[in-house]
A and B are shown apart, each in its own frame.
Chain A
């Protein structure tokens, strides 16, 4: 995979009402050479997003004036900037709603800084490499999208059409969480609903059997409990 534009210097907008969290993020992200802008409420955040044109937004879901979900919806009306949701909410519904509503990823409070940095890098790189490459490489796994061929350690892996589509969708969004609904809609088509999630489970099981050495310790396809799956970007 060609290395994307370096993350250094990228402009990040933090929308969070807690000064402690903002301070923590500002100090650490600046130390990692990011250019930081802050907003302490939803409306102010939307305004900031429209004037500073950030490369990425870190958005808290619980804001004092309007909900984080509204902020996300309104930003999505005119911008496709990557948004990482930072939330203290533990319920899966909230995370799923945010992801389905256009967020690129989520991080729960309390969080490890390393994890947040990794998510930020993945999201930034994803934007940079949006021009689709015909060949995707993930360590020993190679997907040739032009010829619909999957190779693992140099030998070809036989996949059914559905398995291939599922793998392709996950790999094309490597590093990003894909909700069950997003996967169902992109692989099986729009008429599928979340109650069909057992299809997804079964096909993920098949993919893991074919790709993973130990399906209970997956190298490629990670489960996000209650939410969906994430294809691990190898770095």
Chain B
């Protein structure tokens, strides 16, 4: 309906009348041309045609005009005495009356039909936009996006009106939360906020066409569910066209009310889901805190005890120890401190992963280079285990955060060392599989039970078979966090030899690697 309004300039309003006049002149000319062989009844019926036409297409005014013109033409040309408006037979006056009545009836009927069609179309459009909005609302969980969408939808449906949504802020003070782009300046002034506050408190509509502030150009609708008012939706017609009564006609007010209800429900849903998330988070952090406390109290206190014990022994019994004893005690202190450092590093790493502070700094990585660093780091505590590395002839560079990936690899390899017997072998193999780099670390340890293969990557989880080995249960959880941040996967499976575990890390290799190899080959072939 908005288009009809828009594209009806004043100049065009006479066009139907001109068309109808032309049509009647044509019919009259045709009838005169064909002679008077026709019965007058037929002529009257033919004259009904323009009346019906204008009733269907242009409404009541035009059809009455057509009817009058037809009666005049009929009287002038076909009712004796011809070429005069006087009537011989008074019965013709009765015909004219019936004719006018028929014209009036059909015109009213047609116009009403048209009106109903228009209403039906409009209501279909409204239903559609309500449906669209409700569908969006179920899809969006973020409140801000949701309100932005509501503004957009309302503005589109009502022909570009400016929309503003007010919601209470943290101090329960009503404030502008979202507004449409049509007129961002609107809705910010004090009087507008004051009306919004009134509507929020009363839970009633205000503004144009309502009981309150009837003359005000804007319209304020409370966002209301059965239980409470969540905010206020305000609309104002586009600037400069304030005269559009249509924008806030009764149907549109009802539509706005429906929008308001829908929005309120969506806000309620978003708030509830937020609360549920918070509750879940609280429960989860409670669980982590307990696990952390257990872990810290046991894992950190053990090395602390050895450090404090050895140090106090050295201080207090300065003279009773032989130099070997002293060295041994000092070694214990160092090992204890190193172990504590590892635990603290892992805890810090976990905190970073958890809090989303972890940011990947992606660079081109060379797996060979990386393994060199990993092997150097684990060298001190691998004791008598052999570490074999199997690398293919050539492996492309891949994109990743080398420091984090190294940390992940160190964790996996130290785990392999920790859970495999002395004098056994650990194998690190690298392969290329499509667009991914696959790194496997296989040990000959006791392996992971089938039902624990996923759980070992959980925070603070300790395997049932390996509970006696000291550890925090953080190493593999951190690995998983790092690998997944790279878009890769990490899995635990039994070693193909039947004994031990294989940890398999699959990392996406990135895009540019083919080009990279080529540039280098060119340089090398220079000489």
Q: CB within 8 Å of B: which residues of A?
A: 90, 92, 110, 158, 160-162, 197-199, 201-206, 208, 214-218, 222-223, 225-226
- With contacts A160-B523, A198-B397 taken as known, whether A223 is within 8 angstroms of B373 at the C-beta atoms is yes
Which B positions have Cβ atoms within 8 angstroms of A?
A: 337, 341, 348, 361, 363-366, 368-373, 375-376, 389, 391, 397, 402-403, 406, 516, 520, 523-524, 526-527
A209 to chain B, nearest CB (A): 9
Closest-CB distance, A42 to chain B (whole angstroms): 26
Give 26 CB contacts A-B under 8 Å: A92-B361, A160-B523, A160-B526, A160-B527, A198-B397, A198-B516, A199-B520, A201-B366, A202-B397, A203-B520, A204-B366, A204-B369, A205-B366, A205-B368, A206-B520, A208-B368, A214-B389, A215-B368, A216-B368, A216-B391, A217-B372, A217-B376, A218-B372, A222-B376, A225-B370, A226-B402
What are the residues of chain A within 8 A of B373 when measuring CB–CB?
223, 225
Q: Known contacts A216-B371, A216-B389, A225-B373; can you find 13 more A-B pairs with CB under 8 A?
A: A110-B337, A158-B527, A160-B523, A198-B363, A201-B366, A201-B397, A202-B520, A218-B372, A223-B369, A223-B372, A223-B373, A225-B403, A226-B403
Report whether B397 and A216 are in contact in the complex, using a CB–CB cutoff of 8 Å: no
Whole-angstrom CA separation of A226 from B526 in the bound complex: 30
Chain B residues contacting A198 (CB-CB under 8 Å) are: 363-364, 397, 516
- Minimum C-beta distance from B41 to chain A (A): 94
- Taken together as a complex, chains A and B put the C-alpha atoms of A208 and B365 apart, in Å, by 15
Q: Is A225 within 8 A of B516, CB to CB? A: no
For B372, B402, B403, the residue with the greatest tally of chain A CB atoms inside 10 Å of its CB is B372
Task: Give bound CA distance, A198 to B371, whole Å.
Answer: 17
B512 to A, closest residue via Cβ = A198
**Does B363 contact A216, Cβ atoms closer than 8 Å?**
no
Chain B residues with Cβ under 8 A from A223's Cβ?
369-370, 372-373
Query: CA–CA, A192 to B108, complex, Å?
Result: 83
Nearest CB in chain B to that of A113: its residue = B334
Q: Give the CA-CA distance A203 to B523 in the complex, in Å.
A: 10
Pick the 10 closest A-B CB pairs, nearest first: A198-B364, A226-B403, A201-B366, A216-B371, A202-B520, A216-B389, A223-B373, A216-B372, A225-B403, A225-B406
Residue of A nearest to B379 (CB): A217
Contact between chains at A162 and B523 (CB < 8 Å): yes
CB within 8 Å for A201 and B527 given contacts A92-B403, A226-B402: no
Task: Give Cα distance in the complex from A223 to B366, angstroms.
Answer: 11
Residue of B at shortest CB range from A93? B361
B404 — nearest CB in chain A belongs to which residue? A226
User: In the assembly, what is the distance between CA of A218 and CA of B376, in Å?
Assistant: 9
Given A202-B397, A216-B372, is A197 in contact with B523 using a C-beta cutoff of 8 Å?
A: no
- Given A92-B403, A204-B366, decide whether A215 and B372 contact each other with a Cβ distance below 8 A: yes
Which A residues lie within 8 Å of B523 (CB)?
A: 160, 162
Q: Which residues of B contact A92 (CB under 8 A)?
A: 361, 403
- Bound Cα distance A110, B406 (Å): 19
> Once the chains are docked, how many angstroms separate the CA of A198 from the CA of B406?
17
Instruction: Report the minimum CB–CB distance from A171 to chain B (whole Å).
Output: 18
Q: Which of A199, A201, A203 has the largest number of chain B CB atoms within 10 A?
A: A201
Chain B proximity of A167: nearest CB distance (Å): 15
Neighbouring A residues of B366 by C-beta, 8 Å: 201-202, 204-205
Q: Cβ of B376: which chain A residues have Cβ within 8 Å of it? A: 217, 222
A208 to B371, CA, bound (A): 13
B527/A205 in contact, CB under 8 A: no
Q: Which of B372, B402, B516, B526 contacts A202 (CB 8 A)?
A: B516
CB-CB under 8 A from B361, the residues of chain A are 92, 226
Given contacts A202-B397, A216-B389, A217-B375, whether A225 and B402 have CB atoms under 8 Å apart is yes
Within the complex, the shortest CB–CB distance from B257 to chain A, in Å, comes to 56
Q: How far is the CB of B349 from chain A (nearest CB, A)?
A: 10
A202 and B391 alpha carbons, distance in the complex (Å)? 16
Nearest CB of B to A111, in Å:
10
Expressed in whole angstroms, the Cα–Cα distance for A50 and B520 within the complex equals 48
Question: From residue A158, how far is it (CB to closest CB) to chain B in Å?
Answer: 8
Separation of A203 and B363 alpha carbons in the complex (Å)? 15
A225 to B375, CA, bound (A): 13
CB closest residue in chain B, given A212:
B372
| Contact between A161 and B406, CB atoms less than 8 A apart | no
Alpha-carbon distance between A52 and B373 when the two chains are bound, in angstroms: 39
Look across to chain A and name the residue whose beta carbon is closest to the beta carbon of B341: A110
The complex places the Cα of A215 from the Cα of B395 at a distance, in Å, of: 13
C-alpha spacing A214/B403, complex, angstroms: 22
Docked CA distance A162–B524 (Å)? 9
A162 to B364, CA, bound (A): 19
List the A side residues contacting B406 at CB < 8 Å: 225
Docked CA distance A226–B361 (Å)? 9
Return B347 CB to nearest CB of chain A, in Å: 13
Q: How many angstroms between the C-alpha atoms of A160 and B520 in the bound complex?
A: 11
Within the complex, the shortest CB–CB distance from A107 to chain B, in Å, comes to: 14
Q: In the complex, A161 Cα to B523 Cα: how many Å?
A: 9
Q: Is the CB of A216 within 8 A of B527?
A: no
- In angstroms, Cα B372 to Cα A217, docked, is 5
The answer for the CA separation of A202 and B397 in the assembled complex, in Å, is 8
Q: Is the CB of A216 within 8 A of B364?
A: no
> With the chains together, A226 CA to B376 CA distance in Å?
15
Q: Taking each of A198, A201, A204, A225, which has the highest tally of chain B beta carbons within 10 Å of its own beta carbon?
A: A225
* Cβ of B455 to closest chain A Cβ, rounded Å: 29
Instruction: Report the minimum CB–CB distance from B389 to chain A (whole Å).
Output: 5
Give every chain B residue within 8 A of A215 (Cβ-Cβ). 368, 372
From residue A114, how far is it (CB to closest CB) to chain B in Å? 11
Q: Is the CB of A197 within 8 A of B368?
A: no
Q: Considering only CB atoms, which chain A residue lies closest to B377 in the complex?
A: A225
